[in-house]
């Protein structure tokens, strides 16, 4: 089951959303507390309380998406979302003298396929707000055997991040160089993410949602002088109510 964020500006957090145009409207709306560790030097762990909804399609598509071609076994979609990267650099006081970053808004296209053992999805995204004009691609496998309504769902995800994206967030340009912070230009990068989501009905109206994840970044990111961690964690917990 996918965990939907209501407004677009909440899409930066690692919850899951999906708008199913074919199904009759039914909303499980609630609130989730999220925590995400920052990879930046001196960056804080970000804790937020965000609205979240829940549906039962079983495709496990990440982010806000609208289906344009769906069968019981596969789905293609277009969507929108924000980068998972924190454009405020984790509110790091060490990096507060660096130039400010803008928030990137992505247009996404992708597909998801149900297998006997789980769900495989591919997602391509392109920044259209002009923040970095970079692209990214994600391939995810979620262990969610048929009938694709498992309570505990481990997953693994491989990410490709373009040089424009990585250099925007972890690069150091000439104006930001100082003692202990050398110039750095990042190239294309790979990242691996693994995690598990959990959901449990508490009643016929209430559902508990939670999850944890770990992301490991490749050398193009971890070698940056403003990156303090090559591996970061995230998590969330919340409850939805069926209206």
pLDDT tens sequence across 111-151: 999 999 999 999 999 999 999 999 999 999 999 999 998 99
2-6, 69-73, 102-106, 207-211: range with lowest mean pLDDT: 2-6
Domain ranges across the chain: 2-242
Across the range 72-90, mean pLDDT stands at: 93
**Domain 2-242: assigned CATH number:** 2.40.160.40
Across the range 149-164, mean pLDDT stands at: 96
Across the range 181-188, mean pLDDT stands at: 97
% of the chain exceeding 70 in pLDDT: 88
Q: Mean pLDDT in the chain?
A: 88
Nearest CA to 222 among 198, 190, 174? Answer: 190
% of the chain exceeding 90 in pLDDT: 73
């Amino acid at each position: 089951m996918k965990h939907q964020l209501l407004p677009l500006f909440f899409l930066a957090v690692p919850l899951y959303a999906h708008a199913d145009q074919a199904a009759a409207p039914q909303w499980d709306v609630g609130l989730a507390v999220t925590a995400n560790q920052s990879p930046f030097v001196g960056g804080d762990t970000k804790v937020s309380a965000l609205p979240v909804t829940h549906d039962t399609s079983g495709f496990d598509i990440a982010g806000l998406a609208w289906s344009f071609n769906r069968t019981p076994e596969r789905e293609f979609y277009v969507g929108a979302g924000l980068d998972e990267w924190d454009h405020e650099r984790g509110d790091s006081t060490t990096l507060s003298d660096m130039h400010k970053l803008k928030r990137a808004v992505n247009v996404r296209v992708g597909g998801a396929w149900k297998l006997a053992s789980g769900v495989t999805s591919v997602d391509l995204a392109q920044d259209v707000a002009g923040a970095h004009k970079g692209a990214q691609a994600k391939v995810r496998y979620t262990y969610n055997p048929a009938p694709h309504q498992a309570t505990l769902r481990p997953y693994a995800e491989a990410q490709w991040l373009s040089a424009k994206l990585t250099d925007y967030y972890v690069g150091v340009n000439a104006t930001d160089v100082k003692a202990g912070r050398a110039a750095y230009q990042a190239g294309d990068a790979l990242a691996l993410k693994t995690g598990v989501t959990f959901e449990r009905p508490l009643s016929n109206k209430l559902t508990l949602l939670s999850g944890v994840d770990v992301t490991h970044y490749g050398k193009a990111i971890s070698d940056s002088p403003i990156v303090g961690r090559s591996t970061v964690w995230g998590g969330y917990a919340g409850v939805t109510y069926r209206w």
